[in-house]
Chains A and B, each alone.
Chain A
């Protein structure tokens, strides 16, 4: 497996890069394949590498002392993770786990710093990327603080619904609970309620959104 420039091109750090610079910037990346469920980075450990998802999906999460999981966000193909500890040099603020078989492109902390020194455009892109992360996490704080669970579940369904089968990562009820900051049983009850009112259809391993507007309304009303 060679590093695919088309994936590197999608990474936020390289927005606006000319093709020659992209080829050069991609050189220090190395491939890594991880199995479903494998922990890629552990919260509190020193960060060695920045990662880009080449295929599959990775969940970034925090774990409470009681073992409860809170998902911060999912990283998909073309997205990076482990950015913050690589940039500030502090330990990993969250853990990262493969949601299925995942191909990664890794960049060592030293090579990442060299890349930022070499390309001022990458520094500007870093600011935009970190601003985006703050925005994502602020929305999560808003959801967890102010929205009722059913609205959060409706929001998760809308966010992770794809037009085609396989276009978005699959989620277990435990994943949804860890995103919504609630218990798995509560997600199960919410899905049953949404099915009963006709907003969704539970078709074995498929959740079909049959009334998108109703779900959007629940997201709005839940605040």
Chain B
């Protein structure tokens, strides 16, 4: 039976005077990759930021693991077990790779060390450049660091915002392979413009348009639905 890990209902979010999200709602099943699709400005990033409490919802509810987290500040949302990889990766440029990872570690016990070992095996570049400032990494390495760091924060759910943005195709391939491996360990909500990549690793999708959820379904269904892809994603 499918267990819902994250549930959004009737979310309304404003940024300053702008009404960005209108009645957004979706469910994220445990152990799956849920992909948020939509054109630029559809409200995908704001949805992730609303879940994190960075742009809190004015109406509606966000439930994680059965607990209402709508009004929690970002640090408490993170402590509940939600890791966030923002669009700009949020790397602390003057801190080394190791220091970037250490900021995310809430404690140092066996389980943290196991996580660290696993994630460094997944992203061996991070081990190689452990003492290099984060700001000097390549785009792909920064993305890997951002994902690894979010995972180190004892996350049961990872919110990843456009991991392929600005990366060379070969690097995108590598990042996507890593995310696919992360599926084994954690649930993922992925915002992605690259439909091919999203369809490869996504289990289900939600399409956002003008701040509303307009379609949902299994990823393999969307792959066959040319009219839907054309209408909302601009894919001919």
Q: A and B bound?
A: no
